[in-house]
Amino acid sequence: MRQLCKGNVAVVKGAILAGCRAYYGYPITPASEIAEAAALYLPQVGGTFLQAESEVAAINMVYGAAAAGARVMTASSGPGLSLMQEGISYLAGSELPCVIVDVVRGGPGLGNIAPEQSDYFCTVKGGGHGNYHNLVLAPASVQEMSDLTMLAFDLADTYRNPVLVMADGFIGQMMEPLELEYREPQIPEKPWAVKGTAETRKNLVSSIYLEPDELEAHQRKLEAKYARAQELEPRWELYEAEDADVLLVGFGIVSRVLRSAVEEARKKGLRAGLFRPITLWPYPSEALAKAAANVQKVLVVELSNGQMVEDVRLALDGKVPVEFYGRVGGNVPSVEEVQTELMACMTSLV
Amino acid sequence: MRQLCKGNVAVVKGAILAGCRAYYGYPITPASEIAEAAALYLPQVGGTFLQAESEVAAINMVYGAAAAGARVMTASSGPGLSLMQEGISYLAGSELPCVIVDVVRGGPGLGNIAPEQSDYFCTVKGGGHGNYHNLVLAPASVQEMSDLTMLAFDLADTYRNPVLVMADGFIGQMMEPLELEYREPQIPEKPWAVKGTAETRKNLVSSIYLEPDELEAHQRKLEAKYARAQELEPRWELYEAEDADVLLVGFGIVSRVLRSAVEEARKKGLRAGLFRPITLWPYPSEALAKAAANVQKVLVVELSNGQMVEDVRLALDGKVPVEFYGRVGGNVPSVEEVQTELMACMTSLV
Amino acid sequence: MRQLCKGNVAVVKGAILAGCRAYYGYPITPASEIAEAAALYLPQVGGTFLQAESEVAAINMVYGAAAAGARVMTASSGPGLSLMQEGISYLAGSELPCVIVDVVRGGPGLGNIAPEQSDYFCTVKGGGHGNYHNLVLAPASVQEMSDLTMLAFDLADTYRNPVLVMADGFIGQMMEPLELEYREPQIPEKPWAVKGTAETRKNLVSSIYLEPDELEAHQRKLEAKYARAQELEPRWELYEAEDADVLLVGFGIVSRVLRSAVEEARKKGLRAGLFRPITLWPYPSEALAKAAANVQKVLVVELSNGQMVEDVRLALDGKVPVEFYGRVGGNVPSVEEVQTELMACMTSLV
Amino acid sequence: MRQLCKGNVAVVKGAILAGCRAYYGYPITPASEIAEAAALYLPQVGGTFLQAESEVAAINMVYGAAAAGARVMTASSGPGLSLMQEGISYLAGSELPCVIVDVVRGGPGLGNIAPEQSDYFCTVKGGGHGNYHNLVLAPASVQEMSDLTMLAFDLADTYRNPVLVMADGFIGQMMEPLELEYREPQIPEKPWAVKGTAETRKNLVSSIYLEPDELEAHQRKLEAKYARAQELEPRWELYEAEDADVLLVGFGIVSRVLRSAVEEARKKGLRAGLFRPITLWPYPSEALAKAAANVQKVLVVELSNGQMVEDVRLALDGKVPVEFYGRVGGNVPSVEEVQTELMACMTSLV
C-alpha cells in the first residue's frame, strides 16, 4: 500500500504494524503529529492512547506497560526527552523494551522548534545516570520513519532495552511516498513480564540491586548484551565511497544534502563519498574505519556543535584527519555550503 | 581553621564561604548530608534552604534564584540528577550561573547507594537536550569538596554557566581534615539579572530564540565562551609522570588508589605515573597528550563501564594505546587489582 | 447470579454492568480493592484501568474521558478525595457525568484507615469552589454498593453531573451476598461530547464563562437542573416510623445499628422508628419532615462530629427537637450505646 | 500612617505587621496582587516569599513552615483553594496555625475572574475530609483586609488552627484609605514546634492517630477547642437593627450595598436593619438570633446560590421566616435591586 505520508505519521503507522498497542506521551512541537496520529489510530486497533500530565508521568507509564509485556512507545522533543532521562535510565536498568521517538528541535533550553541533531549526546551517550546504552536509530526519509520504528520494536524486544528513534524536525514534518506492507508482528514470549496472571505473579521487574556484587553482576550481564548488539546491529549506508578521497559522514536529513554534495563534487571531478550511519548506537565504527581506510580526509556534517564527530574520531583513532562542519538553530547546510567545505578539505590536502 | 569534616558537609561550608545563600533540593542517598548541612547552616547566615517537592521543582527554583542574581546551588545523586536534565539544559541555554553537586551512586535506575562514577556521560557530555556544556569538577578529597565547590561558584559566574561538582559516594561520606580560610567572596556585578528593581525590570532571562539565525548566533556566542573555558580552565594533577612507561588515569576516589598503585609499582621497579583530571569538562586533553607523549601505554581506571576513557582516547588520538579497567556497583578496585592490570599492560608491551 | 462479595468489589461489578469502561485512580486504604477489582475486571470487558500518578491526575483523566462521552469512574478516600476537589468543581461546572466513590476513613489529615462518615460536608455541601452540587448516594449494604453505583451512572448521565457514592470503611470491607442481574446499560446519546469525530469537532466542553451575565445564565441553568433533581431524586427508607415517638436518623453502616436499636427499643415498649436517607444530596427533606411530623424527638447518629444533623435541622426547621450522637475515629456506636441515648431522649421528653 | 491602598496589598501589610515572615503561593486572579506584594515586601523585612510550582506544593510548604513555628500565609482563589483542601485538612488535623486568604472569583470550575462569595461551603463547612473547622473572617473594606488578616494570625496561634480570610474580588481589588499602626506582634511561644533545635527534636507534628480511641480522643480535643472558639470568637456588626421589621443579612461587599439599602428603606419609612457577620465560622448565631428576635422577616443576600443562608436558618431554627436573594457570575446586586426584594418581603408580611 503506497501513500503520501508525513514522517511523524509514518512513525505511528509503523508502530501499529509492529504490534504496538499503547502510547503514553505529552505533545511538543515538532513531534506533536505523532501524538495526534496515535490518538487517532490506536483506538481503532483496540489500543490505548493516553496524554499524560507531563513527560515524567508519560515515561513512567511506558515503564508500567513495558513491565506488563506490552509493545509500548512514547515520543517527544528535546525538553520532554530531557524530563524522561530518569525514566529511561530505569527502563534500561530494568531491561524493559520500549520505543522512544525524539524529533529533535533547537536547544539548549526552549531553543526553537526548528530542526537540529543536538540531542545526540543525550540519546547516544545516555542522558540518564548509570552505565547503560540506548539503541538509537536515525531515519533519513519518511519510509525509514516507519521502517526503523518497526525495527525499533523488534530490537527493543530482542535486547530488552529502550530503543530511540532520533529524527529531526525536517524528517518529521516532510511528506513523501510511504510503502506499507502488512506483516504479522513477531512479538516474542515475555515470561519475565508481570501480566496480572497467576503464573507471572512471582515476577519482579526492578532496577535495584542493593549489594555491590549483585549490581556488578547485573551490569556485566547488561554489558554482554550491549557487546552482542555492537556485534550484530550496526547499520549504515555507503554512497560512492569505494574510491573516495574525501568521505562525508552525516545522518538523517543531513545525509540527503551530503548525497547531493557528493554528486556535485563528482561532477567537478572530486572523488567524494558518503557514509551514513543508520544506527547511532551501536555506532558502525568498524564499517566506518573500513570505508575510510583509503580516504585522505573525513568531513563530518551535523546539525549540532559537533557531537557525532566524537564517535567518528573514536572509530578512526587518528588514522585519518577528521574535519567538522556544523549548523544549528534550524539552519541546514545547503549543497553549496558543503561544497565549499569539501573544497577547503581538498585544498588542505595538497 | 582546621577541623575534621565529612565530604558532603565540606561542600556546604565551601558554598557558604563562596557567598552561596540559597539551596533548593530534594534529599537522596548518598548526597543527603549536603541537604542536611545546608538546612542547618544557611539560615544561620541569612540564607534560604528549601526542600522542594521534587528534583524537577528544585532545579527550576535554582533557575529562578540564579536569574535573580543569587549564588545558588542544589545537590543530588543519579536519579535526581536525571530528573534535573531539562532544567540544566535551560540554565545553560539562558546562561545562568549555578552549582550542582552530584554524589554519584550505583545505576542505572535505582541501582544502589554505593559509589560509582557512572554519571560521567550525563554530566560531562550533557544529559539534557541541545548544544551545551557543563563545567565539571571532580574532587578527590574532603578538602577539595570544599575548595572545588568554592571554585565552582567563581567559574559559574565567570562563564554564566552551570558548574557541576561530581563526586562519588566515598568522597561524599568520608571524614578528613578540612582547612577553611575565610575570604570575602568576589561576586561579580550581574547587570543582566532580574532583581526586582526598576533598573532591572527590562531584563529578560530566557533560552528561547525563535528565528534560526538568532538561535545560531546565540549558539556561536555560547561556543566562544566554551572555547575560552577550554583554553583557560583545564585543571589536572601529575604524580610521578615524568619518566613513566605506563600512565594511569583516574579521577576522584580512584585517583587515590592509583597513587598508591604507582608507589607500589615503583617499588617493584615499574615506572608508573598518574594523571588525575580535576576538570572533567573542559577535559585537560592537551596536558594529558603531553604527559603521555613518551609513555608506552595508558591505563584508564573508572568506577564505570568506561566513559571517561572516550575522552582519553580522543585526547591521545591513536598515538598511545589506551587500556581500560572498570569496576561498578560500588566495588572500588584495590591497589592489588590495579597492580595486576598494570602488570598485564607492561607484559603486553614486551 | 448470587455470590458472596466484598463491598468494594461490588462497586466495580455494578459499574461494569452499568456500562462503565474506564477507571482512573490512585489506591488508598480503605478503597484500594476498588482499584484492584477495576484493574482485574475492566480489561476483561475491553475497558481501561489506569493508576494515575496522583489523585489530581486521576480526576483530570476522569474529566477527559467524561468529555469524550465515556462512562467513567474513580474511587478514593478522604485525602485523595480532598485532592480531587478542584477537578470535581470543574466537572460540575462543565456538566460532565462521572461517578466518584468515596470510602470514608478517619480524618482530618491522615487520621486513620478506620471507618467514618466525616466527608459529609466535603461531598454533600461541596468541597470545591463555586455554586454546585454533587448528587450523593449512601449505600448501607454490599448489595447497595453495586445497585447504587449502577444508579449513580444513570443519574450522572441524566443530570450531566458528578455523582458520589459515599460509603464507609465497613460497607466497603464487609462481605455479604450480592445478587447481580445483567441488564443492557441504557447509555444516552451524548451529542455534546468530544468524540474525535468530524461532527463533534465543533463541541467545546468548558467551565469558563468570562462575562458575568453569561456565567450567571449558566448558573441559573445549573440551578434549574438541581431543582429538578431535588424534586425527582430524593430516596430514603423508613422502618417502624409510622407510630414512632422518637425517630432515629442515620445512613450507611449506622442505619443498620439503628435498625437493631429500634427493634430493641420496641421490645422494651419504646416506640422508636428509623429514617434512613439513601440520597444525601438531594436530601430527602420533605420525606423526613413528613416522617417526623408526629414524633417528639429526632435523634441523629453519625460517625462524625455532626454534619448531616445540619440538614436534618434544616429539614425540620425547628418543628421537632433534634439531638445528635456521634462517634469518630473508627468507633461505631453499639446497639446498647444507641439504646442509652434513646433513653436519654425519652426521659427528657417526660 | 494613613495611605491609599488596594485591598489585596492591605492583606500583606497587615500580615507583616502581625509578624508573618513567610509566604508560599501560586498566583491567580483576582488574588495575584497578594503574591506580588508579598514578593516585594517580605524580603525587605527579612522574610521569605516563594512561588511554588502548584497550590498543592504551596499549602504543603505552609504546613512545613507552620510546623517550624513560623507565622506563615498563602493566598489564592477558588481553583487554587480547591487544590489546597487536602493540605488544609492536614493543617487542621495537626493543629497547625496558618493564614489562608481566599479572594473569591466566579465558579464552579474556571468560571470567571469576577467576584463571588460561592466558596462559603468550601471554606466554612470544610472542603477537605474529616471533622474539622477553619476559622473564617470576612472583611468588608480595605481597612478590614489588613485588620482581619492581623487578627487571623492571632487567632491561628491561639487556636492552633488554619484561619481563612474570605474576601471577594471587589474588596481585593478596590482602593480605599488604610490606617496602619505599628504594634509589636505578640507571637506566643510554640514549644510544640519543630525548630531544628536540640530541645525540639523530640517534637512530632502529625495528623495520624492509628488507633480508633486515640483518634477519637484527638477529635474530642479538637471539638473542645472549636467550642471555645464558638463561645469567644463570633464577631458581627449591627446597623439600624434595634427596631427593624426586616433584617438584612450579608457579608463582605454585599454588606455595603445592604447598608445603603437600609438607609434608602428608612428614608421611605421602612424599618430595615442590617446584620453583618464578620466571622463566618464561628458563625455569630446567638447574636443573630437575638438581633432577629423581634423582626418579621430576615432577608439574606449573597453573591452565591445560597450558602450562608443555611447558617442563618440554622441560627433562627424556624422562629423567623428567612428569604434569600442571590446574584452570581460577578454581578453584584444594586441598592435598587435590594430595595425591590425588601419591598417584596414587606408586602408578603401584610
Tens digit of pLDDT for each residue in B183-206?
899 899 999 999 988 999 999 999
Nearest to B46 by CA among B69, B19, B6, B28: B19
Largest CA distance in chain B: 72
Mean pLDDT of A299-311: 98
Nearest to D257 by CA among D320, D168, D164, D344: D168
C-alpha to C-alpha distances, C275 to A324, C240, C262, nearest whole angstrom? 85, 9, 11
CA distance C254 to C303: 8
A-chain residues near B116 (CB < 8 A): 130-131
Of the candidate ranges A208-217, B11-20, C143-152, D180-189, the one whose mean pLDDT is the lowest? D180-189
In the chain, the amino acid numbered D176 is E
C-alpha to C-alpha distances, D100 to A215, D34, D80, D206, D279, nearest whole angstrom? 49, 11, 11, 20, 14
Residue that the C-alpha cell 539551596 belongs to: B23
CA distance B174 to D66: 35
C-alpha to C-alpha distances, B130 to A174, B85, B150, B215, nearest whole angstrom? 22, 11, 28, 11
In the chain, the amino acid numbered B70 is A
pLDDT tens track for B273-313: 999 999 999 999 999 999 999 999 999 999 999 999 999 99
pLDDT tens track for C8-64: 999 999 999 999 999 999 999 999 999 999 999 999 999 999 999 999 999 999 999
Burial class (CB in 10 A: 0-12, 13-18, 19+), D263: middle
Using CB atoms, pick whichever of C108, C207, C307 lies closest to residue D110: C207
Using CB atoms, pick whichever of D39, D43, D57 lies closest to residue B57: D57
The predicted structure's pLDDT at residue B126: 79
Using CB atoms, pick whichever of B104, B131, B310 lies closest to residue A107: B131
The pLDDT > 90 percentage for chain B reads 93
DSSP codes of every residue in A78-103: HHHHHHTHHHHHHHHHTT--EEEEEE
The predicted structure's pLDDT at residue C349: 63
CB-based contact, D243 to chain B, within 8 Å = no
Å from D217 to nearest chain C CA? 8
Helices (H), chain D: 7-17, 32-41, 55-67, 78-83, 85-93, 120, 142-159, 169-173, 212-232, 253-267, 285-291, 308-316, 335-349
In the chain, the amino acid numbered C116 is E
CA distance D196 to D201: 7
CA distance C190 to D295: 50
The predicted structure's pLDDT at residue C106: 96
Mean pLDDT of B110-121: 96
In the chain, the amino acid numbered B103 is V
CA distance C112 to C119: 14
What does the block give as the cell for B45? Answer: 547566615
Nearest to A273 by CA among A254, A289, A297, A252: A297
- Residue of D126 and C30 predicted with greater confidence: C30
The three-class DSSP label of residue A136 is strand
CA distance A295 to A289: 10
Distance in Å from the first CA to the final CA of chain D: 51
Largest CA distance in chain C: 72
User: H-helix or E-strand containing B312?
Assistant: helix B308-316
Nearest residue on chain C to D112, judged by CA atoms? Answer: C210
The predicted structure's pLDDT at residue D349: 63
The predicted structure's pLDDT at residue A96: 98
Using CB atoms, pick whichever of C82, C219, C310 lies closest to residue D328: C219
CA distance D214 to C114: 12
Other Cβ atoms closer than 10 A to B44: 8
Using CB atoms, pick whichever of A48, A51, A52 lies closest to residue C48: A48
Q: Cα B301 vs. chain centroid, distance in angstroms?
A: 17
CA angle C273, C274, C278 (to 5 degrees): 160
Q: Do A318 and B314 touch (CB under 8 A)?
A: no
Residue A152 pLDDT > 80, yes or no?
Answer: yes
Give chain C's length: 350
The predicted structure's pLDDT at residue B349: 63
User: H-helix or E-strand containing C237?
Assistant: strand C236-239
CA distance C341 to C265: 11
Largest CA distance in chain A: 72
The predicted structure's pLDDT at residue B345: 84
Å from D92 to nearest chain B CA? 21
Residue that the C-alpha cell 541546514 belongs to: A332
Model confidence at C3, pLDDT cuts 50, 70, 90, reads: very high
Nearest to C80 by CA among C44, C119, C41: C119
The predicted structure's pLDDT at residue A103: 98
Half-sphere exposure of D260 (CA within 13 A, CB side): 10
CA distance B339 to B260: 10
C-alpha to C-alpha distances, B159 to B100, B133, B136, B155, B229, nearest whole angstrom? 15, 11, 13, 6, 8
The predicted structure's pLDDT at residue B350: 55
Residue that the C-alpha cell 528534583 belongs to: B55
The predicted structure's pLDDT at residue A350: 55
Mean pLDDT of D323-334: 97
Q: Do D207 and C328 touch (CB under 8 A)?
A: no
Cβ contact A–D (≥3 pairs, < 8 Å): no
What does the block give as the cell for A115? Answer: 530542526
Å from D266 to nearest chain C CA? 31
Nearest to B282 by CA among B157, B148, B156, B135: B135
Residues 17-76 on A with a CB inside 8 Å of B are 56
Phi, psi angle pair for C51, to nearest 5°: -90, 110
The predicted structure's pLDDT at residue A166: 98
In the chain, the amino acid numbered B131 is N
pLDDT tens track for D227-285: 999 999 999 999 999 999 999 999 999 999 999 999 999 999 999 999 999 999 999 99
Mean of pLDDT over chain C: 96
The predicted structure's pLDDT at residue D183: 86
Model confidence at A230, pLDDT cuts 50, 70, 90, reads: very high
Burial class (CB in 10 A: 0-12, 13-18, 19+), B254: buried
Chains C, D: CB pairs < 8 Å: 260
The predicted structure's pLDDT at residue C38: 98
* Cα dihedral across residues B2, B7, B10, B14: positive or negative: positive
Model confidence at D1, pLDDT cuts 50, 70, 90, reads: confident
pLDDT tens track for C198-250: 999 999 999 999 999 999 999 999 999 999 999 999 999 999 999 999 999 99
CA distance D59 to C82: 13
The predicted structure's pLDDT at residue C350: 55
Other Cβ atoms closer than 10 A to B337: 16
pLDDT tens track for A168-205: 999 999 999 999 988 899 899 999 999 988 999 999 99
Mean of pLDDT over chain B: 96
Other Cβ atoms closer than 10 A to C238: 16
